[in-house]
Structure formats: structure tokens, C-alpha cells
Amino acid sequence: MLEKKNIDETLSDYKDVKIATICSHSSLQIFRGARMEGIKTVGIVLKDRRKLYESFPLGKPDEFIEVDSYSDIPEDELIAKNAVIIPHGSFVEYVGKKFDDLRVPIYGNRRSIGFERSRTKMFDWIRKAGVKIPRVLEPEQIDGPALVKFPGAKGGRGYKIVNSQKEFDEKIGGRECIIQEFIIGVRAYPHYFFSPISKVGYKTKHGTLEMLGVDKRVESSADEIARAVSLGMKPPLSFTVIGNEPMVLRESLLYDYMNIGEKISDTSFDLFGGVIGPFCVETIINEDLEIYAFEISARIVAGTNVYSLHSPYSTYYYDEPMTNGRRIARELKNAKKLKKLNEIIY
Amino acid sequence: MLEKKNIDETLSDYKDVKIATICSHSSLQIFRGARMEGIKTVGIVLKDRRKLYESFPLGKPDEFIEVDSYSDIPEDELIAKNAVIIPHGSFVEYVGKKFDDLRVPIYGNRRSIGFERSRTKMFDWIRKAGVKIPRVLEPEQIDGPALVKFPGAKGGRGYKIVNSQKEFDEKIGGRECIIQEFIIGVRAYPHYFFSPISKVGYKTKHGTLEMLGVDKRVESSADEIARAVSLGMKPPLSFTVIGNEPMVLRESLLYDYMNIGEKISDTSFDLFGGVIGPFCVETIINEDLEIYAFEISARIVAGTNVYSLHSPYSTYYYDEPMTNGRRIARELKNAKKLKKLNEIIY
Amino acid sequence: MLEKKNIDETLSDYKDVKIATICSHSSLQIFRGARMEGIKTVGIVLKDRRKLYESFPLGKPDEFIEVDSYSDIPEDELIAKNAVIIPHGSFVEYVGKKFDDLRVPIYGNRRSIGFERSRTKMFDWIRKAGVKIPRVLEPEQIDGPALVKFPGAKGGRGYKIVNSQKEFDEKIGGRECIIQEFIIGVRAYPHYFFSPISKVGYKTKHGTLEMLGVDKRVESSADEIARAVSLGMKPPLSFTVIGNEPMVLRESLLYDYMNIGEKISDTSFDLFGGVIGPFCVETIINEDLEIYAFEISARIVAGTNVYSLHSPYSTYYYDEPMTNGRRIARELKNAKKLKKLNEIIY
């Protein structure tokens, strides 16, 4: 992994701060938010995607860099433009392991992404935080429906369900994967924002935590599988994310969720210097109101896209429109003013 | 039940009006709304919940009263502070039958809550209003899936399904409960607001009715049970509310829903002097667009939390942000101006 | 069909432009949007619906015309008032085939509605556009669950599921209908807006396309059928629309969706001179992210009602509240200024 001091050096040469990211995932929100804060933006874009992004007068980046593949990040050009990368889910996915060594300054702590990429590290993080997690199973422990997940966050695509070791051996074989107990409940995806410099929000050991929204992923076929089942069909249960929808939590659950956010945040500092900025704890809540964390996204999640300008929670913090995209831009602006950019960039 | 004249007396000593409630359920919205209207707020809070509420600069109350248990309402202190209580679902649940005799002025008609607490009275209210209601069954009438509900609105927790008298006898026995026919359809929760003093909205016998929003409760495991069923599992169907999501109704159904709201409102005056302020009629709509009311919440419902600032319906009434929380504060402000506080407080 | 030149003549006599529609479907949004743009409105209303519409100070029309039946459009009166009709789903349904010959100017291209009314023409349109469509089956091709749809968009009411030719013959017989393959996936309803005069949005052959929002229809019993199925019941799967809920798409799907919108729009010009203004392509997305279009609404859809003031997508185009209703009014205002009303009215 590129060392922090290298990024600090690059950053010290910056005369300006621009926001850059790949045109996908939550980039419209990121560019829109930057525009609201008066920060210029750079969109890394595939040639055939450019027209789409140009069609949004307020969602498009101020300038584009066209690339042939999202795995080739134009590092020199971005540095020359004084760009700071906002890593979102597609960015992390497309760039892969090269992410760790990108010479371009990245908003947040780039170490976070390694803990998102490796499910072993991620689950270890959740456990160390003392948050409930679905049991991780060895093939021989499978004694009912279990979820098999492969490396990478491909929007839930390709997850498999197996019911026994036999089925696991047949369907999965020796592929690298993780087996998780299937929990019956309802999913909720809270969007946290950690700041080491803000005074607003829930105080933690290392800074403050805001909860800017909650969403529910919409998964195909899972979210409409009942229709087929009611017809007597036996369709495979699959979890390809096709979108997101808004929701709010029972207010009494906020206490538990802020607690989970705090523990995940505090533990991230013990493990790797902390998640800086947005993150999400993917949870499922059973009928006894027990909350299980089954994943962490250590950067902005796409579920934040459901909130245009305000979320039901952002209005308890801000008296102005505040999306996750805008919150990131605001943080960069504030850090610059306080000469603390190096505390939120690596 | 404490007599109205006692409250009127207390109220006549008030130099000011503050809004007070327990920190739970919809309190962030209530405090936020009061802040928008310039009314000071008091949060009754458990010591360990205080930090959470302090973390919301615009959602927190102006001052806190810490308590050891929510069943001990600090009445003298609240009266000394000139507080008017906004009763929400958790307030009503935590305080229990002591509610009727609270010496603190309560926004709305405190008699309403008795009709929410007793399912017998509630169902009688729905029937008298001429609104369709799922059949209430005697154990010997159970001839298919039926819902067994116990006293109190514990967010749907603990509801049971039984299929026959035999199963009822085994699972429920002699416990106090109500058995309701299981209706197949989709649920919708309209949020009404009744005002005896406003000129805005749908005219009824006793005042005006607004419909400020509609939501759908998110219940665990019911809302994702299809996943388990598709895997061949036979999980119990349970209805623990974990949150809410926004929805709008077909515009042609608004006619029916405003009709239902009016009938429930008018009948509430015949029965107990009327619901004043927010209420919700919990409904289920079948494939023939027949609407069944299965419950009434005779106060603000948590589903109102899904709307930050505006709802799809509030914008047809107001040219400014209007939540249920703000609407309540606005009502108190207007009544104060008109010297009619005693018409909306008991 | 009434000729365009007749409408152009009528329009040339207009001193003013008012917006008129039947009080149903999305009329509150349409009237509200017109009000935001300073355009006067006329509501065609049944006597017993009038009180409901009068109850919304900002959603009601400026004036009402009471009718005994929505199939009797008061044409002379509307023309005398310089009204332009906004055709919504209920308007089209109530007026039926008389629609084509209405002497009142209609916003958009009235030819569009014929292609919405006839499923044969609609499917032809989708196919010609090169968009995936569920297989349309002959009775003898039914080899698993298939959807039987009857003429007209009655909000999904009365759709049937059959599993075999035998079942088809028994349940449907010789009734006019269309049989569609049952696709397993999740539905998404994007709201497009085509303008021949605007510079904002995605450039197409004939103008620009905006994507102002996405919703999901809420259908009874389909959307809660899992509850009954989990109890061992075998309820019929039915699709009566009772409302709508908001959603956003994965940002990477926007590329595909804008592509679909463009192809449907371009092809509409080849077929009948183009859809002008709002339209919706009803889609279902399977687990492989393949998008099937199963219907087109060639006018404003009710799903637009879920967005109060802003949608997650409208904010990427506009720095002010922008609903579909307001967008229509804005378009009329702009066209009037440009003296191009005749390009968007027929």
C-alpha cells in the first residue's frame, strides 16, 4: 500500500481541491453535492457513458476524462488537476487491488477498502466491534439454507443458496467463498458519516457520527419472488441489486443503530486507523428486534441516492438540503479551511 | 379520568406553552416541528438515551428531563415549565393507564387514548362509523388463518396466527386477546389531522380534516418472509414493526380515504368528544379495492417519520415544509393566538 | 381521428392557455404544478368528488366544471375557457375511443393514446424499438404461468394467471385479451419527459429526454401475497394497483434506461409522429439485469405522484422543485413564449 506520507506530499502541492470519481454508482449525487458547495468536479467516464452524464446539467461533472476502461485510472492527469478521488462502490470494484497504490489522494482512509474487500477481515471487524453477525459456516456445518458469497461487492450478483454440504460441494466446489447463515428478518441499510473535525452529531472516541439516512436495497428476484412462489413455481432466490428504496427505522431502534455505528467506527480505528467519511452497516432485523450486521461498506453506498436534497434524518442535523454527496464536499471544504485536509485524505 | 376543568385551570395559569414528550417514537419530528414554529420543547429522556438525542442539533429538545423510567412522568416539573404533552405511541404505551389521570395538559382529547387502548372500544368505533372491518371471531368461529392480538400497541410484536380453534386453545389458551379474520391485500396507513379551528382542508361536522401522508409499516418477518418461503422453509409469520416506508394512494382512492377519515372523525365526537389533532386509520385494501380498517391510532403515528419536510400530500395544503410534528406546533400556536387552547388541549 | 389542422385552428383562437383535466389520477399534481408556473386550471369533476378537490388549497383547480359522467367531456365550455387538456390515465380510460375526436386541444400528440390503447400496437412499438419484451403467447404456447390482460389500463384490475391452454380455455374462453409470458424479476417504472423545444436533458433525434423519476406500483394482492402463502394459503395472484412507492435505480442501469427511453421515443416518431411530453415504460428486471418492457404509458403516469416537489432525479436537472405536473406547465409556458404551442399540442 502506498504510504500516507506520499499522499501528504502530493496533497501539499495542490493549489486547489477538485472532486473526482468514476461516472457510476453515486457519482451524480457526488457531483451535485460538490456543485452545491462550490467545488469543481472531474468525471472519469467511458466514451459511451459520457452522453448520459452530460444530459444532467446539475449532476454532471465540470469536466470529463474519457477512459477505455475503468481499471485504468488516469493518475497523472488527476493529480495535475488537483483532484481528490471519492471512492464509491463501483470505483472500488472496477479498480480492484490497484486501489491501494493509487498515487492520487483519496478522500477517506484507503486502508478501509481492504477491510471491505476481504470478507474475512470484514467479519473480524464486525465481531471485534461486538455487533451480532450471522454465523459463518464451514461446509460441514450447513444444516439449512445458507448464503454463499464470492469475493467483491458485485451488487449481490451471483450469491447462491445451498441447503447442505452435498449441495455446496456440487454447486460451489472449491471456489473462494464465504458461507453465511440465512437469517429471517427485514434488511435495513443505515448511512453513517464519520468526521474527525465536525462538532455536529454523535460524539465518539475519535470524532462525530451522523446518521444521514436509511434505505432498503431492491433485489431481483428476491423482492418479488413471492409472486412466482404463489403460482407454484420454484424460482431460485437471487439477490442482484437493481435499486434502492427509502425507509425510516422505529425511533427506538435509532439507539441501537447509533450504538452499532459507534462500535464499528471505534473498532475501525483500532484495526486500521478508522473509516473516515461515509460508511454503511448492512443489517437484518428479526422479529425479536435483534439486529445482525452481515456486511460493511467502508465508503459511500448507493442507497444514499434515494434521498433528493433531504432525508428524514438529515433534517435533524441540517437546516438546508444535505445529501451524502454534499456532506462529503462540505467536509473537504471545512477541512481545507482548517488546514486539516491530510486528516481526511489518504 | 381527570376532569377537563382541572386541566383548563392548570392551563389558565400557563404563561407560555412548551411542547413536551418522551424521547422516542416520533419525538425528533415533534421537536423539529416545534423548533420550526418557534415553540420551546422539553424531552423526557432515559439517562442512556440522552446522548443520542443530544446528537441531533435540530431534532433535540431545548431541554431535557431525565427519568429512570418512562412510566414516571415528572408531572410537577412539566407543569412548572408550562409544558403541553404530545402523546405518541410510545408515550401511550409506557405510561399505560396512568395516562388518563396525568395532571399535565395533553394536546388533543385524552379520552381518545382509551378508545385506542381497548380493542373492543376501537372496533366498536370503526363499526359505528360504518367503515368495513375484518370480522372479529370467537375461537369456535376460526376456520382459516386468523390473527390473534393482545392488549396494547407494542409495534405488532407478539401477534400470533392460528388456523383453528384447536390451535387457538393450544397456543393462546385463556389469555386476553382479540381474534381477527386474516385479510389478503395490501396495507396503507393514512395520516389524518383534525382541527376544530383551521379553515384549511376537508370540512367535517366539527372542523377540518387534512390528509398529510400515507405510509406502509415495515414488519419483520412478514415483509421479507417470501425469501424464506421460496427456500422451502416454514417460518412463522410475525409482524414486529421495524420501520416505515413512504407510499401514495391511487388518486381515486383518496375519495374513499377521506370518506373513511371523515366517518371515523365524526363518530369520535359522538363517542367521546372527538379525536383532536393527528390520527391514523390502519387499513388493508384487497384486490377489489375494498378497504378494511383494522385499527385506529388516536394520536400521531410513527409512519409520519418517513416524510422529511414535505409529503406528497402536504404540498397540496401548504406552500412550505409541513410535517405532522410541525402541524401540531402550528396548531398550538394558532390556538394560542385565538385564545382557544382549551379546545385542543385536555 | 380529428385532424391536426382543426386543433391548430382552435388553438389559434386561444387568447390564453389554461390547463384542464379530469379530477383523478394525477390531477392534484397537475393543478399544483400549473399553479407553480402561474397557469390557470380547470377541473372536470363529478359532483360528489368536488368537495374532496376543494379541500386542497394548492392542489385544487382554479375552477370546476361539474359533469355527470367523465365520459361526457364538456368540449365547448373547455374551448371557451381556452383550455388545453392534460390526458392522464383515468382521462384516457374514462373517455375511451371518443378521445381521438375531442375538439379540445390536448397537450401532447393524441395519436400516442391509440398506441397505448391497443396492446397489439404497443407491443409492436416496443419490438420495433428493439427493446426486450416478454414473449406474447398463443393459447397453445402456454407452458407455465402466463399473464392474461384485457383491453384498457384499469389499474391492473382483472388480470388473470393461467398455466396451460386448458386453464386458458376454461377461465378466459373467447374474450379479447393478450397472453404474456410471466417474467420473474423486479418491476421499475421510469418517468420520461420528451420535449421538442427544450435544450435540457438527453439529446435524441427529435428533441430531449429527461428522466424525472422512477417508482414501483403497489399491487393488491401481489405485493403482500407472501404473507398468505407463508400460512399455507393458495390465494389468487392479482395486480390491482392501489398506489405507488418511490425507488431509485442502480446508477449503472441509468445508461440502459436512458437507452430504452431514447429508442421508445425515436420509434414513436417513426410510427405516429412521436410521444410529446411525459411517458413511462413499464419494465421488469431479472437477476441478470436484463430489462423487459411489458407496457408503455404514453402520457403522465400516476407513479409521478410519489414525488413531492423533488425526485432523486429531478434534482440533477433543476435547481428548483420540479414535478411532472410542473414540468408540463413549464413546457406549455415555454412553448407559448416561443410561439410553438402547436408543436406540443394536438
Tens-digit pLDDT profile for residues B305-320:
999 899 999 999 999 9
Strands B83-85 and B18-22: parallel
Give yes or no: residues C192 and C165 share one domain: no
Percent of chain C's residues with pLDDT above 90:
95
Identity (one letter) of the amino acid at A326? Answer: R
Cβ distance of A32 and C315 shorter than 8 Å = yes
Which chains sit next to C, with 3 or more Cβ pairs under 8 A? A, B
Q: What is the DSSP string of A286-303?
A: -TT--EEEEEEESSB-GG
Q: What distance in Å separates residue C255's CA from the closest CA in chain B?
A: 26
Q: How many domains does chain B have?
A: 2
Distance CA A293, CA A135 (A): 11
- Asked if A271 contacts A125 with a C-beta cutoff of 8 angstroms, the reply is yes
- Say how many residues make up chain B: 346
Cβ distance of C225 and A224 shorter than 8 Å = no
Cβ distance of B287 and C240 shorter than 8 Å = yes
Using CA atoms, how far residue A336 sits from A8, A197, A207, C131, C138, in Å, is 13, 11, 17, 48, 67
Cβ distance of B182 and C302 shorter than 8 Å = no
- Alpha helix locations (H) across chain A? 4-13, 27-36, 50-54, 75-80, 89-95, 111-117, 119-128, 165-171, 225-230, 251-272, 324-337, 341-344
What secondary structure letter does DSSP report for B145? -
The pLDDT score that the predictor gives to residue B249 is: 98
**Smallest CA–CA distance from A228 into chain B, residue:** B230
Q: What distance in Å separates residue B165's CA from the closest CA in chain C?
A: 16
Test the A interface: residue of C203, C282, C316 with most A CBs within 10 Å:
C316
Would the pLDDT of A191 be above 90? yes
* Average pLDDT of span A112-120: 94
Cβ distance of C288 and A240 shorter than 8 Å = yes
Would the pLDDT of C318 be above 90? yes
Please give the grid coordinates belonging to residue B145.
388463518
- CB-defined contacts B:C, below 8 A: 145
- Asked if C125 contacts C157 with a C-beta cutoff of 8 angstroms, the reply is no
Test the C interface: residue of B248, B265, B284 with most C CBs within 10 Å:
B248
Distance CA B107, CA B87 (A): 7
Give yes or no: residues A40 and A64 share one domain: yes
Distance CA C162, CA C178 (A): 12
- Asked if B184 contacts B286 with a C-beta cutoff of 8 angstroms, the reply is yes
Report ipTM for this prediction: 0.96
* Average pLDDT of span C27-52: 98
At residue A157, what are phi and psi to the nearest 5 degrees?
-70, 135
Query: How many CB atoms neighbour CB C74 within 10 A?
Result: 17
Question: Which member of A288, A312, A316 has the closest CB to residue B58?
Answer: A316
Distance CA C73, CA C101 (A): 11
**Smallest CA–CA distance from C319 into chain A, residue:** A58
Which CATH number do you get for residue A142? 3.30.1490
At residue B36, what are phi and psi to the nearest 5 degrees?
-65, -25
Lowest mean pLDDT among A63-77, A149-163, A238-252, C47-61: A149-163
What does pLDDT average to over chain C? 96
At residue C247, what are phi and psi to the nearest 5 degrees?
-155, 160
Distance CA C142, CA B288 (A): 27
Cβ distance of A287 and B157 shorter than 8 Å = yes
Question: Which member of C51, C223, C302 has the closest CB to residue B186?
Answer: C223
The pLDDT score that the predictor gives to residue C21 is: 98
Cβ distance of B287 and C90 shorter than 8 Å = no
Give yes or no: residues C16 and C97 share one domain: yes
Give the structural domain span for A149.
Answer: 136-181
Within 8 A by CB and 6+ apart from C202, the residues are: A51, A52, A55, C208, C209, C210, C211, C258, C261, C262
The pLDDT score that the predictor gives to residue A153 is: 59
Q: What distance in Å separates residue C339's CA from the closest CA in chain B?
A: 31
* Average pLDDT of span A287-291: 97
Q: What distance in Å separates residue B206's CA from the closest CA in chain A?
A: 33
Q: Which of A186, A27, A310 is nearest to B243 (CA)?
A: A186
Would the pLDDT of A55 be above 70? yes
Give yes or no: residues C117 and C176 share one domain: no
Which residues partner with B282 through β-bridges? B295
Cβ distance of B220 and A287 shorter than 8 Å = yes
- Asked if A92 contacts A117 with a C-beta cutoff of 8 angstroms, the reply is yes
- Angle between the A27-36 and A324-337 helix axes, to the nearest 10 degrees? 50
- The band of C337, judged by pLDDT with boundaries at 50, 70 and 90, is very high
Give yes or no: residues C95 and C29 share one domain: yes
Give yes or no: residues A153 and A286 share one domain: no
The pLDDT score that the predictor gives to residue C292 is: 98
Test the C interface: residue of B221, B229, B239, B250 with most C CBs within 10 Å:
B250
Q: Which of B312, B325, B214 is nearest to B260 (CA)?
A: B214
**What are the mean pLDDT values of chain B's consecutive 10-residue runs (346 residues total)?**
98 97 98 98 98 98 97 96 98 96 98 95 97 96 92 78 94 92 97 98 98 98 96 94 98 98 98 98 97 97 97 98 98 98 98
Distance CA B90, CA B157 (A): 14
Task: Please give the torsion angle defined by the CA atoms of residues A156, A162, A163 and A167, in that order, rounded to the nearest 10 degrees.
Answer: 180
H or E element in which residue B173 lies: none
Please give the grid coordinates belonging to residue C248.
431509485
- Asked if C89 contacts B232 with a C-beta cutoff of 8 angstroms, the reply is no
Half-sphere exposure of A195 (CA within 13 A, CB side): 23
- The band of C111, judged by pLDDT with boundaries at 50, 70 and 90, is very high
Would the pLDDT of A161 be above 70? yes
**Smallest CA–CA distance from C225 into chain A, residue:** A226
Give yes or no: residues B144 and B265 share one domain: no
- The band of C153, judged by pLDDT with boundaries at 50, 70 and 90, is low
Question: Which member of A220, A240, A245 has the closest CB to residue C245?
Answer: A245
Using CA atoms, how far residue A323 sits from A35, A54, A320, A330, C249, in Å, is 12, 21, 10, 10, 17
Give yes or no: residues C263 and C311 share one domain: yes
Q: What is the gyration radius of the CA atoms in chain B, in angstroms?
A: 20
Whether the CA torsion B89, B91, B93, B99 is positive or negative: it is: negative
Would the pLDDT of A193 be above 90? yes
Q: Let me know how many helices (H) and strands (E) chain B has, helices first.
A: 12, 15
Residues of C in contact with B226 (CB under 8 A): 226, 229-230
Question: Which member of C145, C216, C258 has the closest CB to residue A233?
Answer: C145
Distance CA C215, CA C304 (A): 7
Cβ distance of B246 and A251 shorter than 8 Å = no
Question: Which member of C227, C243, C308 has the closest CB to residue B315?
Answer: C308
Give yes or no: residues A108 and A40 share one domain: yes
Distance CA B341, CA B335 (A): 5
Cβ distance of B229 and A234 shorter than 8 Å = no
Residues of A in contact with C289 (CB under 8 A): 157, 220, 240, 242
Q: Which of C149, C181, C213 is the last residue of a domain?
A: C181
**Smallest CA–CA distance from C309 into chain A, residue:** A308
Distance CA B210, CA A321 (A): 26
The pLDDT score that the predictor gives to residue B153 is: 59
At residue B92, what are phi and psi to the nearest 5 degrees?
-60, -40
Distance CA B68, CA A14 (A): 54
Strands C83-85 and C18-22: parallel
Distance CA C289, CA A108 (A): 31
Q: What distance in Å separates residue B303's CA from the closest CA in chain C?
A: 14
Residues of B in contact with A163 (CB under 8 A): 231-232
Cβ distance of A306 and C247 shorter than 8 Å = yes
Test the A interface: residue of C284, C287, C288, C309 with most A CBs within 10 Å:
C287
Q: What distance in Å separates residue B76's CA from the closest CA in chain C?
A: 41
Q: Which of C88, C52, C54 is nearest to C279 (CA)?
A: C88
Cβ distance of C225 and B253 shorter than 8 Å = no
Give yes or no: residues B194 and B94 share one domain: yes
Which CATH number do you get for residue C319? 3.30.470.20
Residues of A in contact with C195 (CB under 8 A): none
**Smallest CA–CA distance from C182 into chain A, residue:** A228
**Smallest CA–CA distance from C217 into chain A, residue:** A224
Distance CA B219, CA B240 (A): 5
pLDDT digits 0-9 by tens, A195-248: 999 999 999 999 999 999 999 999 999 999 999 999 999 999 999 999 999 999
Cβ distance of B242 and A214 shorter than 8 Å = no
The pLDDT score that the predictor gives to residue A158 is: 84
Q: What distance in Å separates residue A342's CA from the closest CA in chain C?
A: 30
Please give the grid coordinates belonging to residue A107.
478522500
Please give the grid coordinates belonging to residue A65.
476524462
Distance CA A278, CA A189 (A): 12
Distance CA B92, CA B80 (A): 22
Distance CA C6, CA C4 (A): 5
- The band of A76, judged by pLDDT with boundaries at 50, 70 and 90, is very high
Give yes or no: residues B102 and B161 share one domain: no
Within 8 A by CB and 6+ apart from B145, the residues are: B161, B162, B163, B182, C228, C231, C232, C233
Cβ distance of B240 and A288 shorter than 8 Å = yes
- Angle between the C47-54 and B251-272 helix axes, to the nearest 10 degrees? 80
Give yes or no: residues B16 and B159 share one domain: no
Test the C interface: residue of A308, A311, A315 with most C CBs within 10 Å:
A308
Where are any strands of DSSP class E within chain B? Answer: 18-22, 41-46, 63-67, 83-85, 136-137, 146-149, 160-162, 178-181, 186-195, 202-204, 207-221, 239-246, 248-249, 277-285, 291-297
Cβ distance of C228 and B145 shorter than 8 Å = yes
Task: Please give the torsion angle defined by the CA atoms of residues C88, C90, C95 and C99, in that order, rounded to the nearest 10 degrees.
Answer: 20
Question: Which member of B26, B229, B308 has the closest CB to residue A310?
Answer: B308
Test the A interface: residue of C162, C286, C313, C315 with most A CBs within 10 Å:
C315
- Alpha helix locations (H) across C251-323? 251-272
The pLDDT score that the predictor gives to residue C155 is: 74
- CB-defined contacts A:B, below 8 A: 145
**Smallest CA–CA distance from C48 into chain B, residue:** B255
What does pLDDT average to over chain A? 96
The pLDDT score that the predictor gives to residue B50 is: 98
Residues of A in contact with B25 (CB under 8 A): 250-252
Test the C interface: residue of A48, A230, A241 with most C CBs within 10 Å:
A230
Half-sphere exposure of B98 (CA within 13 A, CB side): 13
